[in-house]
Structure formats: C-alpha cells, structure tokens
Amino acid sequence: MNTINLQIDADGIAILTIDVTGRSMNVLTPEFIDELDQAIDDVARNDSVKGAVVTSGKDSFCAGADLIEVAAVLDPAGDNAVLIARSRGLQGIYRKLETCGKPFAVAINGTALGGGLELCLACHYRVAGNSAKTKLGLPEVRVGLLPGAGGTQRLPRMIGIEAALPLLLQGTHLAPEQAAELGIIDALVEPGREVEAARQWLLEHGNAEQPWDRKGFRVPGGAGLMHPKATQTQMFGVALLQKTTNHNYPAPIAIMSAVYEGSVLPIDKALEIETRHFVSLLRDPVSRNMIRTLFVNKNAADKLSRRPKDVARSKVGKLGILGAGMMGAGIAYVSARAGMQVVLLDTSKEKAEAGKDYSRKLAQKGIDRGRVTPESAAGMLESITTTDDYADLDGCELVIEAVFEDRELKAEVTAKTEGIISDDAILASNTSTLPITGLAEASRKPARFIGIHFFSPVDKMPLVEVILGQQTSDVATARSLDYIQQIRKTPIVVNDSRSFYTSRVFATFTREGMMMLAEGVKPALIENVAKYAGMPVGPLAVTDEVTLELVYEIGKQARKDLGDSYVASAADAVLDTMVEQLDRRGKRFGCGFYDYPDDGKKRLWSGLGAHFPLAAEQPTPDEVRKRLLYVQAIDAARCLEEGVLTHPADADIGSVFGWGFPAHTGGTLSFVETVGLGPFVKEADRLAEAYGPRFGVPSGLRTMAKNGETFYGRA
C-alpha cells in the first residue's frame, strides 16, 4: 500500500500507520480511502488479529479531506445521485470500521481535523499525545460545509448535543486536554506513548462495539423535540445562528438540522440524514465560493503564487520602519515577532518609544494569556531599536515607510533613507492611496521601490497588498513577498493606480453609504442592511473608524492631483459638511456619523436628519443591499479590465481579507459569478440608469456575459 503501512505484531495487534506519500500532512486522498477500506477488510478477516491501532507516520495525524479535490466536484448542477454516492463512500468505510467485529483504537500523535477526527470518532478508543501543538476539531463549517463522514452524528452521541453544537457550528479547535475533558479523548499520554497506550487497551479490554450500537442507547443529555433541554438548546441555537449569520451561511443551519433530525434516529438512518444535508451544501454556491477563496486561493497566495520564479529566496534580518504611528508600530511588532531586528524611526526618540509601547502592550497581553513566555516577550522587545537617527538604518535589507499621506513628506524621508541604506536594499511605501510610480520619482533607484500596504490593526489583519510601480523590478517584488511570508501574512499583488485595488474598491462602499445619506435614505437602514448583507460594519460606522478627516484629506489630495478630471459626488458634499462645517471628524475625535458616549455604546448621531433630511419614500432593504454590493463588484471588475488586477483570485482574497466583503460570496468577482454574469450586467444597467454611471459595467464584462464566460474560466 502507498498510504497505509499495515504490520501485525507478535500479540496479534495490527498497526495501521497512515503516511500519504508526497504530502507534508496526511489528507484523505482517494487512494488513501481505498486503502483504508482494504485494510479494514484485512483486519476483520484475519483470525489472528485481535484488534488494530490506527496512527500516523507524520508529525500530525490527519488534516481531513483535500479541499482542492472537494472543490473539483462542487457543481451545483451536478448529478445528485453521484454526489450522494461519493459522499457516502467515506462515511460507509468508517461505519464498516466500527461494526466489523474487531476493536480499533486510534493513537493520535498530532493534529486531527475534519475527516481525520471523524476517523478517530469511528474508532472504539482514542488516545492522544498531550502536546501543545496538537489540535482537534471539525472545522468544515468555516468553508461552507458540514462534517460529512459521521461527525454530526457521532460527536453528539459521544458528548451530548449541548456540548457538540458549539464545536460543530464554530469549527472550534480543541487542545488535547479540552478534548479529554469533554469526553472526545479517552486517554492522554506523553507524546510518543500513544501507540503503546492504544495497544494496551486492545490487549486488556478491546471492546468492538460503539455505545450507539447497543440496545437502549440514549444521547447524553437527551435528544428530540419533546426533550426540554434539547428543545431549549435548539431554540437558543437558532436565535444565535440568526444573529451571527443573517441567514447568509447555509452550513450552520444544515448542521443544526442534521444534529436534531439524526439524534432521534438509529445511527445508520442518521448518517443518511447527514449525507442529505452534506450534498445540499455541495450543491450550494456558498461552499464553492468559500472553499475556492478561503482555502484554495488563500493557500496559493500564502505559497507566493505571484512570486517571480527566477529570483533567489531571501529573508529579512534587519528591517527599518519610518514612522512610529499606528501602522509603523504594528509593522514593528509583527516583524520583531517573526525574529527580525527592527529599527523604528520617528522625528524624536520619544515618539519612537511611544510606537514601541504598542509592542510592549501586546507582549504583556500574550504573557497574561499564556501564549508567550516572559523570556520570549523580552527577547522580542529587545529586537526593536527606537531612534530618530537615520544612520541606524544602515544594514537594513528592507525599509518600510509609514509616514503621513503627504507626497512631499514621503519624498523627504525617501531621500534621507537612500543616503544610508545600500544599493541592494528595498524601499517600500505603506501608502494606501498615493500611486507608487509617482512616489518612486523621489527615489534614486525606482527599480528597488515598491508598495507594501498593510491593514489596521496590523497584528490582526491577515492581508498585505503589494503594489508594483512602473519600474519596480522582479527582485523587489520577490523580496517583498518573501518578507510577507516571513511575517505569516497573505499577500496579493496588484499594479499601480490611484488607491490601488483595496483602498479604491473599499472607498466605493463608504462613498455609496454617504451618497445614500445625502439622498435622504435613513442612516439606520443603510447601516443595518450593510451588516445583514454580510459586511462587518456599515459604511458610516467604518468611515468613523478610519476617521472622516482622513477620508476628507485623501479626497483633497485626489482633487489636487487630478484637477479637472476629478469627478465630484454627493459624498464629497457630505464630507465637507461633516468635517468643515460641523467638525465631526470621526471616532478618534469623539464624534462623527455616530456619537460615542462615555458608556461606550455608540449610536447614530441624532442630528444627521437636520443636515441630511430624510426622503419621503425609502428604498427597500434589497435595493440598499444591491447598491452596496454591486458598486464594489463593478469597480473590482474595472480593476481587472484595467490591469490593476491580473487574476480574479487577488480580487476575491483582497476583498474578503482586506476589508471584509461578505465571505459567503467568495469575494467581489465570485459574487458576480454567483449572480451570473448575464443577470449581473442586466441589474447593473438598471442601477446605472437609476443612480448614475458609477454602476456602469466595463465593456469586457459585458462581452464576457454575452459569450457565457466567467472570470475564473478565463483565468
């Protein structure tokens, strides 16, 4: 066998060691599934075998299904009988394992997730090594699916519905101690002793019957709509789902249904229920969208799929940061955490030290939560040098400029930095709006100048946008991507333009919200519909967060740069009113579109109606939702057509991880594909006629719709 090594020892114990060749972690490939099926038969038919231990030949036990292969069968129009048969295949093998008459114990020597943990649940006894690196969980809900190999049925039967539902609905990862406390793990042992403990159980006990196969079995804690506790759990669960998903995500609802329907049936019938719900999710575009963007595309980006291939790999040992404000301080922290020596420079030593305080606070928080030791935190802080002297940048392989969005200031710090660093060093700007090609004019070496755009707060936001100027070299691109991988962020690569991709398209969302406010749409309707559609917060609230002042200043700079070609809108008038006339500049200043009282509960400013009177006739929630989502998707399509983007995956990753475009859509361009290019163009034309040319689709999208093409089909 190529994926399972089966050995029978002198005591009649079969050891099944999973070791999927060519993979860093074990995954449930078709070959492995076939060989597991054969191995179970071999164990069951061999009279000399008393029982079997399932373990792994790798550091981790099993990471579950290969989602790239799952994505290949995600066809909403696919044959239902074929999908059911495929889905029941692994489920049937696990069921055969637990009913074959021979006891199976599993020795979990590392992380077990998804279908890997479902294999463990099907075994009759579970031993895990007590290691901080080991995680156990059923995370399928995070990619729009449910555990389809018995997880929704075995876990509730093992630990009860009340304990199982949070794990299934949230995809929670458990440490071995937590799993043991819940009853998922039967024995915790020192790492390395897992197989020995599993063998011992087989020799001393070796029970080959699962509790749910015994006559009279009842789900712990009760089940069924007539059971008071189970009914209460269901009621609270449904209410929580409505609050957290706004019915945009079908997987949690399917999980709830599978658990409650299956828990009152015999296990074999319950598994049929699970398959029915699993296949319904496979046929839903949400699962395709989430798997493609959150897993397949993100993994490719994390592996630097856009990196120039002919440039040698590199690592940053010493990093310079210009500006110790919120962004510079965050970049310093994530870089020092990754093991770099960091020089944090500002106009005074005091300002640089204030920036380092951000790292001190995060380090202390890590100590308080037990995530880092005081020694490692101290070492990280020692690696950050604060200074106001440019000479300290000597030896930096990469310098990131994170000063205020002012072209003259950026040119000044660029000149000072290039007087110190070597000709081989890379200079990057963290600008969020100013074109890189223009900033590179202040550089003596524009080929080594690039944009590296972080998102706030840097320590939490996973995305980094790399912007290529007209003269940026492959070396600068490759080394910047290597650095982003070093700090464990996800990069997208875009070409230069004003505001690039993320800031540009995100601005369409906030501006559309302000334009609706100017039209007299109720502020609460704008904000609530945005959140119901799946955006993290409404356009007015997020403008408050980034500050109206900053958005106003960016607009002023754009007007100055573009001159007569600048197209003003009602959003500009709203900003002028809020900033110039009313001095309501955003959350940081204590007031904006919202009030921020001392009790901490923000609320929309009651004075908005006086300055932006409500219209007599209000739009429907669906109309507001379409305006907010379509305006972003249309501009993303423009970015692809203009060459700002070179691949739809960057559009989707950037929108979901950069500013929180609804994950269930898969991102801006997957949203268009889900609607269908033809229907999308037709609806956009209606919106353009009603609200203006910003809803006009680019000609390339219109042509694709006529030809029946898709973005990913072309890519």
Q: List the catalytic residues.
A: 453
Show Cβ contacts of residue 39 under 8 Å, excluding neighbours closer than 6 positions.
1, 4, 6, 16
Contact between residue 162 and residue 233 where contact means Cβ atoms under 8 Å apart = yes
Cα–Cα distance between 311 and 308 in angstroms, integer? Answer: 6
Q: E strands along 49-156, which residues? A: 51-56, 104-108, 112-113, 125-129, 136-137
**Residue whose entry in the numeric block shows the structure tokens 């074999």:** 268
**Shortest CA distance to 631 belongs to which of 466, 474, 516, 477?**
516
Cα–Cα distance between 102 and 577 in angstroms, integer? Answer: 76
Cα–Cα distance between 320 and 407 in angstroms, integer? Answer: 20
Cα–Cα distance between 692 and 437 in angstroms, integer? Answer: 31
**Residue whose entry in the numeric block shows the structure tokens 């269930």:** 664
Cα–Cα distance between 340 and 381 in angstroms, integer? Answer: 11
Angle among Cα 212, 216, 218 to the nearest 5 degrees reads 60
Contact between residue 421 and residue 396 where contact means Cβ atoms under 8 Å apart = yes
Show Cβ contacts of residue 107 under 8 Å, excluding neighbours closer than 6 positions.
53, 54, 55, 127, 194, 195, 197, 198
Helix (H, G, I), strand (E, B) or coil at 510: helix
Instruction: Decide the pairing of beta strands 603-604 and 594-595.
Output: antiparallel
**Shortest CA distance to 629 belongs to which of 661, 666, 590?**
661
Measured CA to CA in angstroms, residue 251 lies from 157, 167, 254 at distances of 20, 13, 5
Dihedral class, residue 245 (left if φ above 0, else alpha if ψ from -120 to 50, else beta): alpha
Measured CA to CA in angstroms, residue 317 lies from 398, 490, 520 at distances of 9, 20, 54
Cβ-in-10-Å burial (0-12, 13-18, 19+) of 580 comes to exposed
**Shortest CA distance to 14 belongs to which of 158, 186, 206?**
206
Half-sphere exposure of 443 (CA within 13 A, CB side): 26
Cα–Cα distance between 614 and 609 in angstroms, integer? Answer: 6
Cα–Cα distance between 205 and 638 in angstroms, integer? Answer: 66
Cα–Cα distance between 273 and 328 in angstroms, integer? Answer: 52
Cβ-in-10-Å burial (0-12, 13-18, 19+) of 272 comes to middle
Cα–Cα distance between 273 and 128 in angstroms, integer? Answer: 30
Dihedral class, residue 9 (left if φ above 0, else alpha if ψ from -120 to 50, else beta): beta
**Shortest CA distance to 289 belongs to which of 546, 666, 556, 627?**
666
